Amino acid sequence: MTELEIIKGCIKQQASCQRMLYEQYAGKLMAVCLRYAKDPMEAEDMLQDAFVRIFNYINQFKFEGSFEGWMRRITVNVALKYIQKKKLVFSEVNDQKESSAQIPPTAYSQLGEEVLMQLIQQLPTGYRIVFNLNVIEGYSHEEIATLLNIKASTSRSQLVKARKILQEQILQLQKIAV
Amino acid sequence: MTDKQLDEFFSHKLKNYSAPVPPDMWERIMAERQKKPKAFWLTPSQKLMLAATFFIAALLLGFYFFNNTSQNKNTIEQNTTPAYSATPNNGNNATTEKDNSNLSINKTPNSINSSNSDVKANSNSVNINNIEANSTSIISSSKRSQTYSNLNSLSAKYKTVNNFSNDGDDLNSNNFGYNQVNAEPALKNSLLYNTNSIHLPPLNLRRILGLDACPNANGAQRNDWYIELYGSPDYTFKSITGNGASANYLQKKDSTEHLRGGFTVGARFSKTIGEHTYLKLGIQYNQINELFSQRKEDQVQTTTVIVRRTITTPQGTTTTVTDTSSVTQIGYRVIKSMNHYKNVELPVMLGYEFGMPDANWRFTINGGLIFGLSSWYMGETLDTSLQVVAINSKSNSGVYEHSFTTSIYGSLGIYRRITPQLDVFAEPYFRYNILGTNSLYGVNQRFGAAGISLGTRIQLNGRRQHL
């Protein structure tokens, strides 16, 4: 069954197509949620809400562009709603203190996806959100500013600090590995 | 590692990363979907049934009012004032009464006085049917020979009954007039005037609505039915309030959506309830148009230019030379489309008519509610990531959550009589959503409109107007 057929089946609310769609994309969207959530429990709630919305609003998909991109956007929106409920504050943090990542020694030699996920999850919330939106999702700082109701300059500074922390962590890991 | 390298490293590694999903996630999603509240959200077929039910109920109600009002013209008017019962002085208690308040005397008519001749003339024509038709429990005498009922007709349609018994000779009908009851102490004593019997009248919806109003100088009460057909160009406006959306998003949404007016067409039944008051109920279609325009910056457009030249050499040979170049333009592009908000609505309102009696010009002040029955939204809007998304929806799964939107309505109608049965009217009005529509992106949107309805009013029955 092609992706197009699955989408059309989902628009008709066919359970078998919905299940196929879920099987195909649940893992990827779970990864998106994990990058934004503070813990796996919250990520699961986000994923659940995201799929409910995807199934409810799939008739909104205009068959223009990537369907996966459309689903990712919904998932990101859901994740941001969760975060905004908690009154996200973009505050400055002590870089040195925040850069003390606890990475298992076995992961030093290879910076696999799981390790990178851990590094991102350990970032302060504001840094994490901006880094995810800009680097992984590809949003511009102006778009992030609109989404998060902050200034574009704040987004830029948060990204710079996020990068700095990540670079330090990776450097530290490499030193330990050597 | 440079910033760019770091970004690419993370992006490349995590873009398609797939994380393990809890095994019960699918069941949780399905359970959540089934748990979604269905309150107020109706399927199109349910909305159609609801509209049909409203319509049939309105027809039945109208039929009931019309029938009852017609029948009531031949019955005795029920009295809501304290009731008096009269018994004869001679103690011949031929009139049997079940209730102290059984005999009704209407205060309103001034000429209840009846002469002997009237009574005698009517003595053999007891109209029991009329009495029994009254909603109060009037029980007439079982002995016809000893009981006279004077059905003194005040008008063709309004009658007052005096029940009394007598020996047939010394009948003085003046004693039984309402005014005399108050004037004659002796007779007053003989009346079973029981203050305990002064009850509050039962709730009479027909009277409250003016259906049982007394006739005025023009004749009987109005029982007129009209149908009004109208159409209106609308000047529309809307207000947007955040319901979780950021201020930037609201500003962006506001700057991309520009209302472009609308229109309303409909039909409504209009029924007089009293001399000046109308109940109006109908169905109408309303459409609001909106221009969606988004300006996209940094748009790059590349145009390929091909120039062909023919060169003739001194030797006489001809060569065609093709130059290909490209022109790159950087600028902005404005994307435009029209949004349509379509609604089927049920207007319910009360109107008060005034103006000179039988004049060619009449005026009404109307107020009421307009209930949304169904809606279709078509077009485009921005989502929270400022991407253009379709708002096409016919159910509750669109960008805007559909609900029973309700508007308040106020208008001033100006009617010009063309024929006794036909008026034309112009009705400036104002309406505003008291219940807005919630958007998926945390926005509450309320529409308002001002316009002027132009239409005709056709009288279906009732008292004809005179030119």
pLDDT bin (cut points 50, 70, 90) of residue A169 is confident
Instruction: Give one word for B261, left, alpha or beta, with left for phi > 0 and alpha for psi -120 to 50.
Output: left
One domain, residues A136 and A172:
yes
- Comparing B412 with B44, the larger pLDDT belongs to B412
A26 neighbourhood in chain B, CB within 8 Å = 21, 25-26
According to DSSP, residue A59 is labeled G
Mutation target vs A (from B25, B29, B248; most A CBs, 10 A cutoff): B29
One domain, residues A112 and A176:
yes
- Asked if residue A76 has pLDDT above 60, the reply is yes
> Average pLDDT for residues B108-123, to the nearest whole number?
40
Contact A146 B246 (CB under 8 A): yes
Domain boundary (A31, A56, A87) is at A87
pLDDT tens digits, one per residue of B15-36: 888 899 998 899 889 888 877 5
> Could you give phi then psi for residue B184, rounded to 5 degrees?
-95, 110
Contact B1 A139 (CB under 8 A): no
> Average pLDDT for residues B109-114, to the nearest whole number?
40
One domain, residues A77 and A100:
no
pLDDT tens digits, one per residue of B177-190: 344 444 444 444 44
Find the CATH number of the domain harbouring A60: 1.10.1740.10
- Asked if residue B348 has pLDDT above 80, the reply is yes
Contact A44 B13 (CB under 8 A): no
Asked if residue B79 lies in contact with residue B160, where contact means CB atoms within 8 angstroms, the answer is: no
pLDDT bin (cut points 50, 70, 90) of residue B9 is confident
Q: What is the domain partition of chain B in residue ranges?
A: 45-66+220-296+337-461, 74-204
- Could you report the predicted ipTM of this complex, rounded to two decimals? 0.84
> Average pLDDT for residues B391-412, to the nearest whole number?
72
One domain, residues A81 and A103:
no
pLDDT bin (cut points 50, 70, 90) of residue B54 is confident
Name residues 66-85 of chain B within 8 A of A (Cβ).
Answer: none
Domain boundary (A29, A56, A87) is at A87
One domain, residues A73 and A134:
no
One domain, residues A39 and A113:
no
Strands B225-242 and B443-461: antiparallel
Quote the percentage of chain B above a pLDDT of 90: 18
> Average pLDDT for residues A118-140, to the nearest whole number?
90
Domain boundary (A87, A117, A148) is at A87
Task: Supply the pLDDT for residue B206.
Answer: 56
One domain, residues A4 and A79:
yes
Q: How many helices (H) and strands (E) does chain A have?
A: 9, 0
One domain, residues A99 and A56:
no
Contact B249 A146 (CB under 8 A): yes
One domain, residues A121 and A104:
yes
Flag whether residue A88 sits within 8 Å of chain B, measured between CB atoms: no
Q: Which of B203-212, B219-228, B300-309 has the lowest mean pLDDT?
A: B203-212
Q: Which of A107-111, B180-184, B242-246 has the lowest mean pLDDT?
A: B180-184
Mutation target vs B (from A11, A23, A33, A56; most B CBs, 10 A cutoff): A56
User: What mean pLDDT, rounded, does chain B reach?
Assistant: 69
Contact A147 B384 (CB under 8 A): yes
Q: Which residue range forms the structural domain that includes residue A63?
A: 1-87
Per the structure, how many domains does chain A have?
A: 2
> Average pLDDT for residues A80-86, to the nearest whole number?
81
One domain, residues A178 and A95:
yes
Find the CATH number of the domain harbouring A108: 1.10.10
- Comparing A114 with A111, the larger pLDDT belongs to A114
Q: Which of B192-196, B210-214, B270-274, B429-433 has the lowest mean pLDDT?
A: B192-196
Flag whether residue B4 sits within 8 Å of chain A, measured between CB atoms: no
Q: What is the value of pTM for the model shown?
A: 0.42
Flag whether residue A77 sits within 8 Å of chain B, measured between CB atoms: yes
Q: Which residues pair with A35 in a beta bridge?
A: none
pLDDT bin (cut points 50, 70, 90) of residue A22 is very high
Indicate the CATH number for domain B45-66+220-296+337-461: 2.40.160.20
Q: Which of B97-111, B318-332, B379-393, B437-451 has the lowest mean pLDDT?
A: B97-111
